[in-house]
Amino acid sequence: MAKNENDRADYEMLDAYWRACNYLAAGMIYLTDNPLLQKPLKPEHIKNRLLGHWGASPGLSFSYVHMNRLINKYDLNAIFLAGPGHGAPGVLAPVYLEGTYSEIYPNKSEDKEGMRLFFKEFSFPGGIGSHCTPETPGSIHEGGELGYSLSHAFGAAFDNPDLIVTVVVGDGESETGPLATSWHSNKFLNPIRDGAVLPILHLNGYKINNPTILARIPHDELEHLLLGYGWKPYFVEGSEPMDMHGKMAATLEQCVLDIQDIQQSARANNDVSRPLWPMIVLRSPKGWTGPATVDGHKVEGYWRAHQVPLAAVKENPKHLQQLEEWLRSYRPEELFDDRGRLLPELKTLAPQGTRRMSANPHANGGLLRKSLRMTDFRDYAVPVDKPGRQEAENTRPLGCFLRDIMRLNKTNFRVFGPDENTSNKLDAIYQASKKTWMGGYLPEDEDGGELSPHGRVMEMLSEHTLEGWLEGYLLTGRHGFFSSYEAFVHIIDSMFNQHAKWLAISEEIPWRAPISSLNLLITSTVWRQDHNGFTHQDPGFLDVVVNKNPKVCRIYLPPDINSLLSVADHCLRSRNDINVIVADKQKHIQFLDMEAAIKHCTKGIGIWEWASNDQGQEPDAVMVGCGDVTTQEALAAISLLREFFADLKIRFINVVDLYKLTPESEHPHGLSDHDFDSLFTKDKPVIFNFHGYPWLIHRLAYRRSNHKNLHVRGYKEKGSINTPLELAIRNEIDRFSLAIDVINRVPRLQVAGAHAKERLRDMQIECSQYAYRHGVDQPEFAQWTWPD
Amino acid sequence: MAKNENDRADYEMLDAYWRACNYLAAGMIYLTDNPLLQKPLKPEHIKNRLLGHWGASPGLSFSYVHMNRLINKYDLNAIFLAGPGHGAPGVLAPVYLEGTYSEIYPNKSEDKEGMRLFFKEFSFPGGIGSHCTPETPGSIHEGGELGYSLSHAFGAAFDNPDLIVTVVVGDGESETGPLATSWHSNKFLNPIRDGAVLPILHLNGYKINNPTILARIPHDELEHLLLGYGWKPYFVEGSEPMDMHGKMAATLEQCVLDIQDIQQSARANNDVSRPLWPMIVLRSPKGWTGPATVDGHKVEGYWRAHQVPLAAVKENPKHLQQLEEWLRSYRPEELFDDRGRLLPELKTLAPQGTRRMSANPHANGGLLRKSLRMTDFRDYAVPVDKPGRQEAENTRPLGCFLRDIMRLNKTNFRVFGPDENTSNKLDAIYQASKKTWMGGYLPEDEDGGELSPHGRVMEMLSEHTLEGWLEGYLLTGRHGFFSSYEAFVHIIDSMFNQHAKWLAISEEIPWRAPISSLNLLITSTVWRQDHNGFTHQDPGFLDVVVNKNPKVCRIYLPPDINSLLSVADHCLRSRNDINVIVADKQKHIQFLDMEAAIKHCTKGIGIWEWASNDQGQEPDAVMVGCGDVTTQEALAAISLLREFFADLKIRFINVVDLYKLTPESEHPHGLSDHDFDSLFTKDKPVIFNFHGYPWLIHRLAYRRSNHKNLHVRGYKEKGSINTPLELAIRNEIDRFSLAIDVINRVPRLQVAGAHAKERLRDMQIECSQYAYRHGVDQPEFAQWTWPD
């Protein structure tokens, strides 16, 4: 045959395979029986509830099967991310056809009964979801919440030089902010060291009820936009299937060749200039190959194709007939044998084994994950001869620890931060690795730029992109560490929510191997944002965290350097969790030597004997510190109280692991009631100085016996421009307020404490006045240390 | 003089004015005394703590003073938004120079002592913040959290046909997702009806410690990008001041002329095609005109200029000398007279009165706000003859209400939603106004597109952009209503936080006139996301809301149509609040006729007598419903219990206004303890069926006397694909679980209730099994009604 005829035959096979996908996708939405249409279609074959999204599905399968062709042709190592994850039928269909689905879920076998169950259980209670959920083989991107496909794809490609991450980007999704900025990720991808991301921007033109912006701007504007984002766009546009197969096959192949050229040239010549990576704009009708019109209204190529194009098939015989015609238009009898098996000549179109995108181990990253090589965190300890005497920057030694871990793990560990790693005092990391930068360079970068195309520290002023990169990196089996300003972690609240949900489901899926935990350091915290003001004061991310499944959430508030190191070491070794570590970057008083810190962090909560004087007795009151500044102020309050009341018995407790406060039935780290009571007593006043919003502590501890005596201080939205101590005073977490709290709550001090209270209030006012007069805290108080 | 000489003289005046700005900006950061440098600079003139951001300041003033020139020349009506709000000195300086600051804050007078105080109080405790906080005259955009300047600018421009919104967009900010997508806002701006947004993308090249992406891509890539976003970019690039004045003056004037051409042509010809709006790329050095190098390191034009370029001036005589040279380089003696007043010939460069951008009433929108013309919400009531008998879609009549309000308020009310107004059943609104669309049109749009360039319903798949538009619209004195899927409201958690902080501060500023409340309808709620699955189930936005200042936060959970209408009416009339309304869009049982709804919503909480049988007695138990589905299930539980225990006395309480649960000392809506106790009793079991995460109720009510008997059900992250009832069962908010809860907690049923519990569990299992078998709920239960 001539080449053209050869191609034509190839494309007809491709088309048949694609028809099989579309048939399955429609079947998933509609059928509960008669999967091969071997009988005339009857209402009883139709599901009671029609769910799922047809609109995006054909375009997703189209991209998938064309990628399959090239995987076979070039033996590519590729995975597939579906931005419009709600078009899951378009992904599940090829996954089923290439056999992976049946291997993992044997009752969804490759035969008629398996197909029937596969159809029935789609978007059905107890079955599988309508997005590319963790249950979907090959998925690392659910697409339930839109906007993160491209950043996930880049995360997967980093440090995977042989991988091609195919990612279908929806045109609806493209309107979201996170997606819009993530196109710039190409300024952080090194063609020598990293793999390739191949975006297919799928312009099917519509969202739920609206056209999409990118589909309705002129062609040249769209081309400008993508060139401006630094890509080389190829356009595949049309609707006639055979024509489109030809265009897509040629164009996708060109992209793969471009990628190979770029990589080979960069690697052969050690050329780290930023290439223009290829991408495809696929403009095809929404609901492609589905009903053109329904009841006289346009459906294919319009927003009406978004979900279920024919909604009343069970009740409306005309709709039922139209559905049958639609399904039969794929000619299932030419695709499957009468036992429901895909014909062997079609079967060969799929890649084999782990070359199948649904079986590629990169999409089940735990399989590839290697434990991080760790240095001994004890080596970074600050010596603490006596607790509470000297100050040091809490995050700086962590930077050294991360630096040395980076040195030991040159290909599977990255550090992420939105332009803040230096600000957050983690800059020692640059001694091991610079910041990844594939943008232009200037001479001044030599002095303090810390930039390199080979860098492994990821900095871009987009928390969304960083979080997406990190998630993609972890989901493909690697390790990472993300630090961010506390107030602005709220920017990624919803990404946290989605990742927590992914992890919670994944833990219940036996074939999903555990991945590294997502480690998030929250720093530049509220109590040292006295100078940046009110917008920068928000410790509320923890309130978002505690709503998610306790199986996968951990929160740590180490009070000083050595405890931070101990906690960080633990987190970096853990799997399948989201570890939130709260620790400020500024100078703070140090409390624990390394031995004490390890012991304390391992317990997660405990009495600090050296700060307590109730040994062997019931205390008059319990003082609790949770957080760095709040622990300091709580201890300062104790030292003040001792000056007034030498015989007052105060027990001091520090909480590192916040979930210790929850009942053991609610969280794996929760203390038993017995242990809780033995720490907090059953009836003594407890003054709890908390880093965050105070009511969070009540939410965690409301079931505890002594809850009625639990008095919590924390941030309560009082702040503009302050000094640190004045900010504490305004929110009543300061030493004076806490000491007064104790006096107010210890019965025998009700009268005897009057003078002390007056004196404490005077000191507090004096501090405030000093701050408002001099703009800084009174040195006497700012340099407080724990007394001998 | 020849024109060129004339221009030269003009630019020299402009430059002098700009030097005055830069002098003031640097003075704010450094000086606490000697404001005019009439004495040699000494350490005691320097602040104890050096704060503020120099880097962005000169570029901000540069843009401001050039805009001033054109305001005077063309009598423009303009306001100014500073994306890099942390460069506040660059905004505060011209605001002070044009006299507004002294008018509002008389002690910051236009003389030496006023200047000294103006300097001293910048970023000083009790003074003003380092961002364009609400205290800044002319500011509607604080810029503390980056990313929202452009969407705020568009919000301000909508329906303000004569306004030019100048907005400096930082290149750091440009990396954020919200900013990246907000460039597309031009597809929603109608040149006939709306004003103009004039972005000045300020490429000063650096963030805190990093270069910016947009400053380090090739010129043609940047040009492509902006053309692709649909703008006409002009470039002003350089560093030599006089050269730059010439370029900026000419270019900014060209932009203003372009804008006038576009508007005049569109308005004269009724031409609603989308124009290419002009914008400027201003590439100038970071820290422009500041120290070139410090201690041998490059500062001007590098990231080191970001904050305080000379940090050790108080201790280091060389730094002090360099600071003095820097300050004197602006030649203050040529700018201010010896009493500290700007020279009269410079003074005339500023616009007068409300033409000053700092005094433009659009930036203090409450001044321009007109109350919304309202229709009577009672007209949209559904008749409810008997409570709990018929179903209807809860949000649909609200759509009609909004439609008619839209008809009455054609120029100051808009409705916002991310492609979801139809999905959310608010589509009646399109009868009054279509969706704004300035993208391309296709023939099929005629049938169901609901698009129009004249539309006033704003739909884009970016919650960030919508929220930004709405905030900008409200801050300039108009009204709006935003509806969104519940789970994805988390996307704008941080924007909510920032707006709440803005409002809380604004309430304390006497000259800020109150603005309309931000009304946010949260719908497509968790309990009807059984089919979309786990990613779509998240009622946690409320947990974010309650952390913010209670003065400005309101939360309503109306259980049915009439209560939703009553709540919406209240919210649309309110000012300075954020009203969060939670109401699902699907069919739900109706409980209250309009009269009862008004009464109930006005109280915010109350006993439903018709559902209670404890009249005149202490009940055995209190059942509480808060939310639509949760109220239905609570009532269904009561009806089940009555079948088993005819003499069981149950009081039913419905909560609409969530803050009623908080102590009155904590929130203006909080119930007194006495009222709370009289509703919830002091000692009876309370089964509280809550819409959201259950622990939120404990957090609000932990101080109440009967808290120990408060048993809360709510969403606890149990869900994938379910039916509605099965989803309720998995989270134990269903009627069976609740009935069992009551039996478990009423002492006299401990033994007597055993049989009933068994039967209830059987029914529950039967329901689940039915769902898992048929994919829908058992009709008998799905169609539950309140018994006669």
Query: B283 vs B56, B76, B205, B306, CA distance in Å?
Result: 12, 25, 8, 16
Shortest CA gap A415–chain B (Å): 15
Residues in chain B within 8 Å Cβ distance of A28: none
Neighbours of A107 (CB within 10 A): 10
Q: Is B553:B541 a contact under the CB 8 Å cutoff?
A: no
Neighbour-count burial for A752-763, b at 16+ CB within 10 Å, e otherwise = ebeebbeebeeb
Q: Which of A177, A442, A698 sits opposite B699 (nearest CB)?
A: A698
Straight-line distance from the first to the last Cα atom of chain B, in angstroms, rounded to the nearest whole number:
94
Q: Which residues of A touch B218 (CB under 8 A)?
A: 440
* Shortest CA gap B214–chain A (Å): 9
Task: Check CB contact of B292 with chain A, cutoff 8 Å.
Answer: no
Closest Cα partner for B402 from B374, B424, B383, B422? B374
Optimal mutation site among B547, B578, B718, interface A, most CBs of chain A within 10 A? B547
* Higher pLDDT, residue A5 or B140: B140
Q: Do the beta carbons of residue A95 and residue A80 sit within 8 Å? A: no
Identify the H or E element spanning B73: helix B57-74
Joined together, the tokens standing for residue A378 give: 């004890």
* Distance between B101 CA and the closest CA of chain A, angstroms: 19
Q: How confident is the model at residue A616 (pLDDT cuts 50, 70, 90)?
A: confident
- For an interface test with A, give the residue of B176, B314, B658, B731 to mutate (most A CBs within 10 A): B176
In chain A, residues with a C-beta closer than 8 Å to the C-beta of B226 are 228
Residue B723 confidence (pLDDT) above 90: yes
Among A192-196, A648-652, B461-465, B527-531, the range scoring the smallest mean pLDDT is B527-531
User: A487 vs A255, A768, B8, B552, CA distance in Å?
Assistant: 41, 25, 47, 19
Taking only the tens place, the pLDDT of each residue in B639-691 is: 999 999 999 999 999 999 999 999 999 999 999 999 999 999 999 999 999 99
Closest approach of A69 to chain B, Cα-based (Å)? 32
Mutate to test the interface with A, among B29, B53, B175, B420 (most CBs of A within 10 A): B175
DSSP code for B624:
E
User: Would you give the distance in Å from CA A765 to the centre of its chain?
Assistant: 45
What tens digit of pLDDT does each residue of B281-319 get? Answer: 999 999 999 999 999 999 999 999 999 999 999 999 999
ipTM (interface predicted TM): 0.97
In this structure, the strands spanning B686-690 and B77-82 are: unpaired
Q: Which candidate in A494, A508, A726, A767 is best for mutational testing of the B interface (most B CBs within 10 A)?
A: A494
As a three-state string, the secondary structure of A440-464 is CCCHHHHCCCCEECCCCEECCCCHH
- Are B218 and A451 inside 8 Å of each other by CB? no
> What pLDDT score was predicted for residue B263?
98
Q: For B245-288, what is each residue's pLDDT tens digit?
A: 999 999 999 999 999 999 999 999 999 999 999 999 999 999 99
Query: Which carries the bigger pLDDT value, residue A126 or residue B635?
Result: B635
Mean residue pLDDT of chain A comes to 97
Q: Is the pLDDT of residue B1 over 80?
A: no
Question: Which helix or strand (DSSP H or E) is residue B278 part of?
Answer: strand B277-283
pLDDT in tens, B354-366: 999 999 999 999 9
Would you call A509 an interface residue with chain B, using a CB distance cutoff of 8 Å?
no
Q: Can you tell me the mean pLDDT for B718-732?
A: 95
CA dist A348 and A343 (Å) reads 9
* Residues in chain A closer than 8 A to B437 (CB atoms): 211, 216
CB pairs under 8 A between A and B: 366
- A182 CB neighbours in chain B (<8 A) are 177
User: Is the pLDDT reported for residue B74 higher than 90?
Assistant: yes
Which among A133, A297, A775 is the nearest to B49, CB-wise?
A775
Mark out the alpha helices in A702-752 (DSSP H runs): 724-730, 735-745, 749-752
pLDDT in tens, B679-703: 999 999 999 999 999 999 999 999 9
**Shortest alpha-carbon distance between residue A166 and chain B (Å):** 22
CB A656 within 8 A of CB A604: yes
Scan residues 673-702 of A and list those with Cβ closer than 8 Å to B.
Answer: 693, 695-696, 698-699, 702
- What is the distance of C-alpha B399 from the center of its chain? 22
Tokens representing residue B362 in the block: 């659009």
Cα A89 to Cα A130: distance, rounded to the nearest angstrom: 7
Spatial separation of the C-alpha atoms in residues B474 and B466, rounded to whole Å: 12
Identify the helix (H) or strand (E) that includes residue B452: strand B451-452
Give the model's confidence band at A720: pLDDT under 50 very low, under 70 low, under 90 confident, else very high.
Answer: confident
**Three-state SS at A298:** strand
Scanning the structure block, which residue is given the tokens 């200037």? A442
Structure tokens at A668: 């794996």
- Residue B419's pLDDT is 87
* B337-360 pLDDT, tens digit each: 999 999 999 999 999 999 999 999
A626 CA: distance to closest CA in chain B (Å): 19
Sheet with B650-655, edge to edge strand ranges: B605-607, B650-655, B621-626, B686-690, B710-713
Q: Which residues of chain A are within 8 Å of residue B531 when distances are taken between CB atoms?
A: 49, 51, 123, 130
d(CA A459, CA B161): 40
Task: Report which of B347, B411, B6 is spatially closest to residue B190, judged by C-alpha positions.
Answer: B411
**A208/B707 touch (CB, cutoff 8 Å), yes or no:** no
pLDDT higher than threshold 70 for residue B29: yes
Q: Does any CB of chain B come closer than 8 Å to the CB of residue A184? A: yes
**Environment class of A223 (CB within 10 Å of its CB; exposed 0-12, middle 13-18, buried 19+):** middle
Query: A610: distance to nearest CA of chain B, Å?
Result: 33
Best of A459, A485, A493, A505 to substitute, by most chain B Cβ atoms within 10 angstroms, is: A493
Please state the φ and ψ torsions of residue A640, each to the nearest 5 degrees. Answer: -65, -45
Q: Are B487 and A145 in contact (CB under 8 A)?
A: yes
Distances (CA, A) of B416 to A5, B179, B188, B509: 53, 18, 12, 29
Q: What angle do CA B463, B467, B473 make, to 5 degrees?
A: 145
State pLDDT tens for residues B169-192.
Answer: 999 999 999 999 999 999 999 999
Partners of A494 on chain B (C-beta within 8 Å) are 487-488, 490-491, 493
Q: In order of start, what are the domains of chain A with their CATH numbers?
A: 54-106+126-308 (3.40.50.970), 377-588 (3.40.50.970), 604-782 (3.40.50.920)
B370-402 pLDDT per residue, tens: 999 999 999 999 999 999 999 999 999 999 999
Please report the beta strands in B158-261, taking only residues with DSSP state E, as ranges in sequence order: 163-170, 196-203, 231-237
Confidence of residue A5 (pLDDT cuts 50, 70, 90): confident
Q: Is A775 on the interface with B (CB under 8 A)?
A: yes
Residues of A in contact with B690 (CB under 8 A): none
Residue B4 pLDDT greater than 90, yes or no: no
Q: Residue B616 and residue B693: Cα distance in Å, rounded? A: 33
Q: Does A185 reach chain B within 8 Å, measured CB to CB?
A: no
Closest Cα to residue B268, out of B340, B344, B192? B192
Q: Which residue of A has its CA nearest to B303?
A: A449
Contact residues, chain B, for A487 at CB < 8 Å:
145, 494, 497
Contact B490 A497 (CB under 8 A): yes
Res. A423 pLDDT band, cuts 50 70 90: confident
Q: Which residues contact B10 (CB under 8 A, 6 or more apart)?
A: B69, B249
Beta strands in B159-261 (DSSP E): 163-170, 196-203, 231-237
CB–CB contact A698 B693 (8 Å): no
Structure tokens at A741: 């709290």
Nearest CA in chain B to A274: B217
Contact B152, B141 (CB under 8 A): yes
Whether the per-residue pLDDT at A4 is higher than 80: the answer is no
Q: What residues of chain A, 696 to 735, have a C-beta less than 8 Å from chain B?
A: 696, 698-699, 702, 707, 717, 720-723, 726
Residue A70 token pair: 């090239």
Token output for B639: 């009806």
Which residues, other chains included, contact B339 with Cβ-Cβ below 8 Å and sequence gap of 6+? B111, B112
Nearest CA in chain B to A450: B210
Q: Are B497 and B548 in contact (CB under 8 A)?
A: yes
Touching B: A residues 229-288, CB under 8 Å: 229-230
Query: Which residue is closest to B302 within chain A, CA to CA?
Result: A444
**DSSP E strand stretches across A19-152:** 77-82
What part of B 388-417 touches A (C-beta under 8 Å)?
none
Q: How far apart are CA A485 and CA A418, in angstroms?
A: 9
Q: What residues are paired with A168 via a beta bridge? A: A82, A200
Q: What average pLDDT does the segment A398-411 reach? A: 98
- A167 in Cβ contact with A189 (< 8 Å): no
Best of B121, B506, B549, B717 to disrupt the A interface (most A CBs within 10 Å) is B717
Chain B residues within an 8 Å CB radius of A304: 448
Between CA B46 and CA B43 the distance in angstroms is 5
Q: Are A275 and A44 in contact (CB under 8 A)?
A: no
B346: its two tokens: 């410079």
Q: Identify the CA nearest to A557 among candidates A714, A408, A668, A708.
A: A714
| Measured distance CA(B634)–CA(B646) in Å, rounded | 17
> Which chain A residue has its CA at the smallest distance from B548's CA?
A717
B99/B352 Cα distance (integer angstroms): 9
The tens digit of pLDDT for each residue in A454-486 reads 999 999 999 999 999 999 999 999 999 999 999
* B775·A532 Cβ contact <8 A: no
